[in-house]
Amino acid sequence: MSFLPYAVAAWLFVVGLWGVVASRHMVRTVLCLTVIQSATYVLLLAVGYRSGAQAPVVADIPPVTPLVDPVMQVLVLTDIVIEATVTAVLLALVIQAHKRFGSVDPSDLRPLRD
């Protein structure tokens, strides 16, 4: 039971990669990237979790209460912003790809074949 969150993280990572490899629609490729990123969120937050601890907001609890790790939460917050923005750039590229190639299937993108 104590390994479950880490196993979920590993699973999400590999399943997301599978999604990118097998995808026939570029929007799906982009969304599978967010699945891979979710694996890193789960892992970071699981690493920062402390049994029996409270959220790291000390507004109305005694200061000696054990708290969950705020640093990992900050890392995840930073990563969420990064992911959202890179997804935006990728989706903009997908829109232009649709206009240029008339298709959003990666197999229909021809020009860069060697």
Residues 26-45 that bind another protein (CB under 8 A): 26, 29-30, 33, 36-37, 39-40, 43-44
Q: Is 62 in the site for another protein (CB under 8 A)?
A: no
Give min distance, CB of 54 to another protein, in A: 10
Hey, which residues does 67 pair with through a beta bridge? 54
Buried b (16+ CB within 10 A) or exposed e, 94-112: beebeeeeeebeeeeeeee
Based on the shown chain and the rule CB under 8 A, indicate whether residue 10 belongs to the binding site for another protein.
yes
Could you say which of 25, 27, 58, 62 contacts another protein (CB under 8 A)?
A: 58
Instruction: Decide: helix, strand or coil at residue 67.
Output: strand
